[in-house]
Amino acid sequence: MAGGWDSLRLDDLEPIPVVDGALLWKPIRRTLGIEAFGINAYTADEGQPIVAEHTETQPLAGRHQELYYVLSGRATFTVDGEEIDAPVGTCVFLDKPEERRGARAVEDGTTVLAIGGVRGEAFKVSPWEFAFAATPAWKANRWDEVAALYHEGLELHPGNASLLYNLACAEALAGEPDAALEHLAGAATDPRFRKFAETDTDLDSLRDDPRFSEALGSQPG
């Protein structure tokens, strides 16, 4: 950034496939270093998801109010089961974090801008952004880079079960059982992640270690 300003063209921002490759994320906030609010873009062709179905109360979410703006193409949003036709120029505002939202592209080349933040609070990067940012490194088995991103997320969100769980998976795949088991035990305070750990192949290298069952079985729930 020069002189306190910067610019980019969305078409020049390389999308990152996330959510099992079904969603293309363009990390505007992270690329420009924006710290005052969350802003990102998503792009998809006809029939593909363009906003992942979620609530802002999930483990990786930030409890944000969210505004979605259709920059190009056309999308169909679904909010708590109600469909909203969203041609180019449409704004969809979600006031309540617990509202379940998602969208699919209706036309090829659809792009949706997402802006969010917590009412009455200074902006803090949501946990999901660290997971999304780690995706290219994860696919390339660059485990040190993956771990660094999850640790960065945990500095902002200490004890976040989803970040701890994914960090444990990365460390298990990297052949670091001590760190993996420590972080798995932290994640296992949430029963959802205890359940995931029972069958997650990312953790297979830990299963013969007696500390694995201790990490899961010692937690209340």
Residue 167 Cα to chain centre, angstroms: 14
Q: Give residue 1's pLDDT.
A: 52
Please indicate, yes or no, whether residues 140 and 213 belong to a single structural domain of this protein: yes
Q: Give residue 123's pLDDT.
A: 93
Please indicate, yes or no, whether residues 36 and 112 belong to a single structural domain of this protein: yes
Beta strands (DSSP E) in 45-100 are 49-54, 65-72, 74-79, 82-87, 91-94
Please indicate, yes or no, whether residues 103 and 146 belong to a single structural domain of this protein: no
In a domain, 168, yes or no: yes
The arithmetic mean of pLDDT across residues 47-59, rounded, is 93
Residue range 142-185, pLDDT digits in tens: 999 999 999 999 999 999 999 999 999 999 999 999 999 999 99
pLDDT band at residue 19, thresholds of 50, 70 and 90? confident
- Residue corresponding to tokens 């080349």: 109
Which helix (H) or strand (E) is 131 found in, with range?
A: helix 127-133
Residue range 114-151, pLDDT digits in tens: 999 999 999 999 999 999 999 999 999 999 999 999 99
Please indicate, yes or no, whether residues 105 and 17 belong to a single structural domain of this protein: yes
DSSP conformational letter for 81 = T
- How far is the C-alpha of 60 from the C-alpha of 52, rounded, in Å? 12
Please indicate, yes or no, whether residues 99 and 187 belong to a single structural domain of this protein: no
Cα R_g (the chain), whole angstroms = 19
- How far is the C-alpha of 42 from the C-alpha of 12, rounded, in Å? 13
- How far is the C-alpha of 95 from the C-alpha of 51, rounded, in Å? 16
Q: Give residue 220's pLDDT.
A: 42
Beta bridge partners of residue 85, listed in sequence order: 76
Q: Give residue 96's pLDDT.
A: 94
Asked if residue 221 has pLDDT above 80, the reply is: no
- CATH number of the domain residue 69 falls in: 2.60.120.10
Number of domains in the chain: 2
Asked if residue 3 has pLDDT above 70, the reply is: no
pTM for this predicted structure: 0.87
Burial of 201 (0-12, 13-18, 19+ CB in 10 A): exposed
20 compared with 123, residue with greater pLDDT: 123
The domain containing residue 170 runs over which residues?
Answer: 134-217
Task: Phi first, then psi: give them for residue 108, nearest 5 degrees.
Answer: -60, 145
- How far is the C-alpha of 41 from the C-alpha of 33, rounded, in Å? 15
